[in-house]
A and B are shown apart, each in its own frame.
Chain A
Amino acid sequence: MAYEGDKILDSVTQKEYEFGFTTNIESDKAPAGLNEDIIRLISEKKREPSWMLEWRLEAFANWKKMTEPSWAHVHYPQPDFQSISYYSAPKSRPKLNSLDELDPEMRKTMNKLGISLEEQKRLSGVAVDFVMDSVSVATSFKGKLAELGIIFCSISEAIREHPELVRKYIGTVVPRTDNFYAALNSSVFTDGSFCYIPKGVRCPMELSTYFRINEGGTGQFERTLLIADEGSYVSYLEGCTAPMRDENQLHAAVVELIAHKDAEIKYSTVQNWYPGNDEGVGGVFNFVTKRGLCEGDRSKISWTQVETGSAITWKYPSCILKGDSSVGEFYSVAVTNKFQQADTGTKMTHIGKNTKSTIISKGISAGKSQNSYRGLVHINKSASHARNFSQCDSLLMTDTCGAHTFPYIEVNNKTACVEHEATTSKIGEDQIFYCLQRGIDMEKAISLIVNGYAKEVLNKLPMEFAVEAQKLLAVSLEGSVG
Chain B
Amino acid sequence: MLTIKNLYSTIDSKQILRGLNLEVKPGEVHAIMGPNGSGKSTLASVLAGREEYEVTDGEIAFNGKNLLELAPEDRAREGIFLAFQYPVEIPGVSNINFLKAALNEIRNYQGKEQISAKDFLKLVNEKSKLVELDGQLTNRSVNEGFSGGEKKRNEIFQMAMLEPKLAILDETDSGLDIDALRIVANGVNAMRSPERSFIVITHYQRLLDYIVPDFVHVLYKGRIVKSGSKELALDLEAKGYDWIKEEEVTQ
What per-residue 1/0 map shows which CB atoms of B31-71 lie under 8 Å from chain A?
Answer: 00000000000000000111100000000000000000001
- Is B156's beta carbon under 8 Å from chain A? no
User: Closest approach, in angstroms, between the C-beta of A78 and any C-beta of chain B?
Assistant: 40
Interface size class of B (residues with CB under 8 A): 20 to 34
Q: Which residues of A421-458 have CB atoms within 8 Å of chain B's CB atoms?
A: 428, 430-431, 433-442, 444, 448-449, 451-456
Which of B71, B91, B103 is A453 in contact with, Cβ under 8 Å? B91
Q: Within 8 Å CB of B91, what residues of A? A: 452-453
User: Closest approach, in angstroms, between the C-beta of A473 and any C-beta of chain B?
Assistant: 12
- Is B30's beta carbon under 8 Å from chain A? no
- Known contacts A433-B50, A444-B105, A452-B93; decide if A438 and B88 are in contact (CB<8 Å): no
Q: Are B76 and A444 in contact, CB atoms less than 8 angstroms apart?
A: no
Which of A436, A442, A449 is B93 in contact with, Cβ under 8 Å? A449
User: Closest approach, in angstroms, between the C-beta of A245 and any C-beta of chain B?
Assistant: 32
Q: Within 8 Å CB of B103, what residues of A? A: 439
Q: Within 8 Å CB of A456, what residues of B? A: 92
What per-residue 1/0 map shows which CB atoms of A445-482 lie under 8 Å from chain B?
Answer: 00011011111100000000000000000000000000
Q: Are B82 and A437 in contact, CB atoms less than 8 angstroms apart?
A: yes
Which of A436, A440, A444, A451 is B92 in contact with, Cβ under 8 Å? A451
Q: Are A428 and B88 in contact, CB atoms less than 8 angstroms apart?
A: yes
Q: Within 8 Å CB of B105, what residues of A? A: 438-441, 444
- Known contacts A434-B87, A436-B73, A440-B101; decide if A452 and B49 are in contact (CB<8 Å): no
- Known contacts A433-B50, A448-B101; decide if A440 and B73 are in contact (CB<8 Å): yes
CA distance A300 to B162 in the complex (A): 46
5 smallest beta-carbon distances between A and B, as pairs: A452-B92, A452-B93, A438-B102, A439-B76, A455-B92
- Is B26's beta carbon under 8 Å from chain A? no
CA distance A434 to B92 in the complex (A): 15
A interface size (C-beta, 8 A):
22
Closest partner residue, chain A, to B86 (CB atom): A430
User: Closest approach, in angstroms, between the C-beta of B39 and any C-beta of chain A?
Assistant: 19
User: Closest approach, in angstroms, between the C-beta of A463 and any C-beta of chain B?
Assistant: 16
CA distance A437 to B142 in the complex (A): 14
Q: Within 8 Å CB of B101, what residues of A? A: 440, 444, 448
Q: Are B76 and A438 in contact, CB atoms less than 8 angstroms apart?
A: yes
- Known contacts A433-B50, A438-B98; decide if A448 and B90 are in contact (CB<8 Å): yes
User: Closest approach, in angstroms, between the C-beta of A430 and any C-beta of chain B?
Assistant: 5
User: Closest approach, in angstroms, between the C-beta of A233 and any C-beta of chain B?
Assistant: 28
CA distance A453 to B93 in the complex (A): 8
Q: Which residues of A311-347 have CB atoms within 8 Å of chain B's CB atoms?
A: none
Q: Are B141 and A452 in contact, CB atoms less than 8 angstroms apart?
A: yes
Closest partner residue, chain B, to A425 (CB atom): B91
Q: Within 8 Å CB of B148, what residues of A? A: none
CA distance A440 to B51 in the complex (A): 16
Q: Within 8 Å CB of A434, what residues of B? A: 84, 87-88, 90
Q: Are B49 and A436 in contact, CB atoms less than 8 angstroms apart?
A: yes
User: Closest approach, in angstroms, between the C-beta of B218 and any C-beta of chain A?
Assistant: 26
Q: Are B162 and A439 in contact, CB atoms less than 8 angstroms apart?
A: yes
Pairs across A and B, CB under 8 Å, 16 listed: A430-B88, A431-B88, A431-B89, A431-B90, A433-B88, A436-B71, A436-B73, A437-B72, A438-B98, A439-B76, A439-B102, A448-B101, A449-B93, A452-B91, A454-B92, A456-B92
Q: Within 8 Å CB of A430, what residues of B? A: 88
CA distance A444 to B90 in the complex (A): 13
Q: Are A439 and B109 in contact, CB atoms less than 8 angstroms apart?
A: yes
- Told that A434-B90, A439-B106, A449-B90 touch, could you supply 20 new A-B pairs with CB distance under 8 A? A428-B88, A430-B88, A433-B48, A433-B50, A433-B51, A433-B88, A437-B72, A437-B73, A437-B76, A437-B82, A438-B76, A439-B76, A439-B103, A439-B109, A440-B102, A440-B105, A441-B105, A444-B101, A452-B90, A452-B93
User: Closest approach, in angstroms, between the C-beta of B14 and any C-beta of chain A?
Assistant: 19
Closest partner residue, chain A, to B102 (CB atom): A438
User: Closest approach, in angstroms, between the C-beta of A369 and any C-beta of chain B?
Assistant: 22
CA distance A452 to B71 in the complex (A): 24
Q: Within 8 Å CB of A428, what residues of B? A: 88
Closest partner residue, chain B, to A449 (CB atom): B90
- Known contacts A433-B50, A444-B101, A452-B141; decide if A438 and B90 are in contact (CB<8 Å): no
Q: Are B92 and A433 in contact, CB atoms less than 8 angstroms apart?
A: no
Which of A441, A448, A451 is B73 in contact with, Cβ under 8 Å? A441
Q: Are A438 and B49 in contact, CB atoms less than 8 angstroms apart?
A: no
User: Closest approach, in angstroms, between the C-beta of A81 and any C-beta of chain B?
Assistant: 43
Closest partner residue, chain A, to B89 (CB atom): A431
Closest partner residue, chain A, to B161 (CB atom): A438
User: Closest approach, in angstroms, between the C-beta of A287 and any C-beta of chain B?
Assistant: 31
CA distance A186 to B73 in the complex (A): 54
Q: Are B88 and A439 in contact, CB atoms less than 8 angstroms apart?
A: no
CA distance A440 to B82 in the complex (A): 14
Closest partner residue, chain A, to B77 (CB atom): A439
Which of A438, A441, A455 is B158 in contact with, Cβ under 8 Å? A438
CA distance A449 to B91 in the complex (A): 8
CA distance A439 to B71 in the complex (A): 10
Q: Within 8 Å CB of B92, what residues of A? A: 451-456
CA distance A456 to B92 in the complex (A): 8
Q: Are A448 and B50 in contact, CB atoms less than 8 angstroms apart?
A: no
Q: Within 8 Å CB of A436, what residues of B? A: 49, 71-73, 76
